Structure 1
Amino acid sequence: MKSEHIFADNLSEVVWLRLKRLSSHQLCAKVILGRTSTMPDASLTEKATGMAWAIRSAVGYWETKSGGLNSRVLSRYYALLQISIAEQIASGDERCTLPAIQRHTEQGHGLFTVAADTGDFPSSYLVGCLKSGHFPSYCKARGMDLKKFAFERRLRERPNEVERAHMVSLADLLRRVPELQNVTQEYMGMHPLSFHLAKQPSSDLEQQFDQMGMSMIGSIYDAKTLTPALKTTSAIAICPVGYQLTAEQANSLDLPIRDFEDKKNSLSGLTLPTGQLEHSAQEHWYEGLRLHESGYCGSSIMVPYWGLEDVFTLHLVILYAFSIVTRYLPSLWHEIEDGKLDHLRSLLEHYLVVVDNVLPRIALERMTGDSVHAKQSGSVFSLT
């Protein structure tokens, strides 16, 4: 993966400019060739034309400014849907063309929703994935396996206990959005399922190194052979903001960090759930984790759902669920807009700001295969 560094006063604007450039089929052809060694001219032309069209379609949906909240929900869902199509076409696989992907989209979205017997919305609103349709096809193209959780067909009745275990509630999906972790407690009365992490010094020597901005990578030796150790363990803390989380709660989550204990941080004086992460002794602790960061959150880890740790896919599923509510559940949507669930309207407004400002960079990375680092010009980060 290559890195693209962007420096600008208006980061959102310049990311949009980089994304919109791919509405050109000639530039799309360059992106596709950058992800494969060679491709026949006819195949390249077909793929580049289809990719450029999907991006133009996505931008058209994304730039929909008029209309109410329901219009924004629908337009953002279809924008991400088109981005996922463009991403599939952008791969080096000659078979991934617009007509080939259409064979899956014709079978539907690949997702479905159903209400649970108990609880309030959005905890009672469940989302399931199917074995056919666009979503499982897209996940397969990304190397994400849904077989263990996918249904043969959508449920027409309320799920039983076994079926419920293969579904995820809309509330739990929203709790996984890293940029919402500091407001999840306020809006839904539950702790988030995405957490900002920070390394904690596990010894006085390591604390001295950390304070000097230095690393102890490569300095850990096996006591028996006196050779550099292959594995080491780092102390990693969850840093709650706007909510409380105990070590007991952290241990109940499916995180790669294990054996959490409530420990007092020597610098801040705060008691934080602190666990152990095993990783290569020759790597930084964060290199083995699937971390997400943006202008709205620090480096954070998400509790997997359906075995997935993918943030883009998370947003695709959330927007699908809300799109069903806006189209087919008018009474429920009324309660969200100006009824007893109006706090969720505020949450949705907050969430859509995140979508509009965070997802374009992720979309750009997905299609080009490059990591994009956008930094404010003149900031200390722009000098590195």
Structure 2
Amino acid sequence: MPRIPEGPAPLAVRAAGWHFPETSRETAALPEPADRTPAERGVLAGLGIDRIRADDVPDGVSLATGAARRALAAAGLTAEEVRALVVVESRAPRTLLSSEATRVQELLGARDAVTFAVGGLGCVSIAPALLTARGLLAADPDLGQVLVVHGSTPATPDRYRHPVTVNGDGGGALVLSRTGPVRVLDCVQETDGRYWDLFEVAFRDVPSERWRERCKDPAVYSFQLAVQTRNRLSTLLDKLLARHGMTRGEVAGYITQNLSLGSFGFTEESLGITVLPACRDNLREFGHLGPNDVFFNLYTALERKELAEGDRAVLINVSPVAAWSVLLVDIGAEPRR
């Protein structure tokens, strides 16, 4: 039986996988609702998103399953070997009462896996998924890995989320274990329930083709929440780094989610940091991929040698619900001495 380590339970990404539709669409050519205003068109044009991957009938479960198969193959595992499956839930399931989590389990063939979903925090939902995986690994010394998956698709027919971003389609999966080439050293997360309904989609008695996401108060999003985000992220980042005896300048690379060029500039100016180039390139080519963004950007940066073994990187996530999370990862399988 493996020895249960002392101190914080270790967590690492053993392998990752991504799955996208083959169809690429130019953002400028996306269908527009009849009631889109000139101001909305202006914001959309300035987001910095040239194209997205998009399917005519997006299915988050299929995207998540495809990504899971790639991640398992990269880890040298089969679906039958998966003993724990955590699905980051979608914002708009295809049907009510049915279980997307167990649908992924069935399609994947992971019939012996303890399976459930986490979520409710938008992009930040990847943080509770990681915390859950750490808890599962700590609670069961015989558990070798936890598979975390998410399929990102838009909640409405309109892929433009005014004034935030454009949603693309994409699946992501992480095989999490106690050791691996990307060690998750720490995670801090906070929420503020006062903004729980700042963005919403009214769907009761409304045909799905007429669903539209609405920001109840754009001024609150653009000003009040922006100020709080700046303050929260600064405090969370300092707290995270202080726990590891680090300063902001000692971080090799900063990664955040793909919302807009303006969001990158806001984060950089607020925290006095520079976001890795992979983030801007993925924003331009894929748009926003929900909870998948930060790890997709991390692995893109690793492939492009923007990060190297021995580097430490910070992954920053913000959701307008409102929620914030900051992750510290170490590139390299073995703990530092």
Output the TM-score relative to the length of structure 1.
0.24
User: Could you say which structure has the greater relative contact order, defined with CA pairs below 8 angstroms and 6 or more residues apart?
Assistant: 2
Q: Whose Rg is larger?
A: 1
Q: Give 1 or 2: higher helix fraction.
A: 1
Higher strand fraction: Structure 1 or Structure 2?
A: 2
Give the TM-score normalised by structure 2.
0.27
